[in-house]
Amino acid sequence: DETKIFEVREGEIYEYGVTPEQFGFKRAFHSEIMGGNAYENAKDLKDILSGKIQGAKFDIVVLNSMFALYTANKVSTPLKAKDIILEAIYSGKVMEYFRSLNDKA
């Protein structure tokens, strides 16, 4: 199944569907992305943001981040955000920012 998107741009409404495969990701079962207890979820988050975890959990974070950059008008298409996000994760910039937020808390 496709995820249905309703996009509002310049006063127009566009409706379309997207699949993970369109962006180079595999479909995942719910069991692959299901969280655990607070400790496990925190560890998974840190591992995802540092690029230590690969697979469905990593993919869903990247895919959602792609659409976040697109929605914020930082890229012209969600796909153009993919390399930006992967570079930010693998370079350590995402974890650096995450740690700075923790330091402020």
Domain count along the chain: 1
Cα distances (angstroms) measured from residue 56 to each of 72, 74, 94, 98, 103:
24, 25, 19, 21, 29
Give the CATH number for residue 97.
Answer: 3.40.1030.10
pLDDT at residue 104, rounded to an integer: 83
- The string of pLDDT tens digits covering residues 14-68 is 999 999 999 999 999 999 999 999 999 999 999 999 999 999 999 999 999 999 9
Task: Read off the DSSP letter of residue 2.
Answer: P
Residue 104 exposure: Cα atoms within 13 Å on the Cβ side: 6
Given a cut of 90, is residue 69 above it in pLDDT? yes
**Tokens at 41, concatenated:** 């979820």
Positive or negative, the Cα torsion across 3, 83, 68, 72?
negative
pLDDT at residue 84, rounded to an integer: 98
- The parent domain of residue 52 ranges over 3-104
pLDDT at residue 11, rounded to an integer: 96
pLDDT at residue 102, rounded to an integer: 83
Given a cut of 80, is residue 105 above it in pLDDT? no
Model-level pTM greater than 0.85?
yes
Alpha-carbon radius of gyration of the chain: 15
* Closest listed residue to residue 86, CA positions, set 38, 44, 25: 25
- The string of pLDDT tens digits covering residues 79-104 is 999 999 999 999 999 999 999 998 88
